[in-house]
Structure 1
Amino acid sequence: MSIISHVVVGTNDLERARVFYDAVLKTLGVKRVVNLETASLWGTESPEFMVTRPGNGLPSTYANGGTIGFAAPNRAAVHAFHEAAIKARCQGRGTARPAPVYPHVLRCICTGSGR
């Protein structure tokens, strides 16, 4: 069992975030499972990842130093996720490559439209 039940990130542009996360999460077999007026949630069977406008009405800001790692079944899926992110206009840094701390993980660094 994972120690994480779900992850929530903020956005200032929910429609743009929906388009971005639909594109990249589809490459991992993840689909949008819930739509609300101020949020959308994705998962394989139940909500696991949420993008929402901040509840306090203030602008969304970056989590400086924050990281979200989406599980992928293989390296090809990581590359497909990265390619979908680039096509969806993420601000990528480099190519998908092994993570130094987690050698079994391929990483692609991307600041998507979740903001």
Structure 2
Amino acid sequence: MAMFTHMVLGTNDLEKATAFYDATLGALGYKNMGPMGDHGMMYGQDAPEFIVTKPANGKPATYANGGTLGFVAPSRKAVHAFHEEGLKAGGTCEGEPGPRAFAPTAYAAYLRDPDGNKICTYCFAAE
């Protein structure tokens, strides 16, 4: 059984966030599943699992200091594509694609989205 029903990150510019997540999550094989009303966009494979949205309370979106949202990458090549597409779509680098020391096969890349949210992708395949 999955631990979560979905994950949500806030945005102050839905158009810019949609372009960013279309590029980065598309590189991992996830789909834009359409709008969530007028304030959000949903992503997933078969059902919405990730949502980027303007805050419901009408206040500006802010990012969590120390918070990171991680996405599964199907391959190391996808880790590189995620990072490359994210940079082209307005993200900033928070960690180049490459091995991570905490596990023998951990391979990851980190980005900040245009709103400053920290995201990453990990592949645990041996090659």
Shift of 1:86: 1.2
Map residues 25-104 of structure 1 onto 2, 5 A cutoff. 25-35=25-35, 36-104=37-105
Q: Gaps spanning 5+ residues in structure 2: where?
A: 117-127
Shift of 1:4: 2.0
**Aligned: 1:8 with 2:12:** no
CA distance in 1 between partners of 2:42 and 2:106 (Å): 24
What's the Cα RMSD here?
Answer: 1.5
Aligned residue identity for 2:13 = D
Between structures 1 and 2, the one with greater strand share? 2
TM-score (norm 2): 0.83
**Aligned: 1:24 with 2:24:** yes
TM-score (norm 1): 0.91
Aligned residue identity for 1:65 = G
**Aligned: 1:110 with 2:125:** no
Following TM superposition, the consecutive aligned residue runs of length 4 or more in structure 1 with deviations greater than 4 angstroms are: none
Q: Gaps spanning 5+ residues in structure 1: where?
A: none
* SS of the residue 2:58 aligns to: coil
Shift of 1:44: 0.5
Matched length? 115
Contact 1:27 1:77 survives alignment (8 Å): yes
Deviates more, 1:82-91 or 1:92-101: 92-101
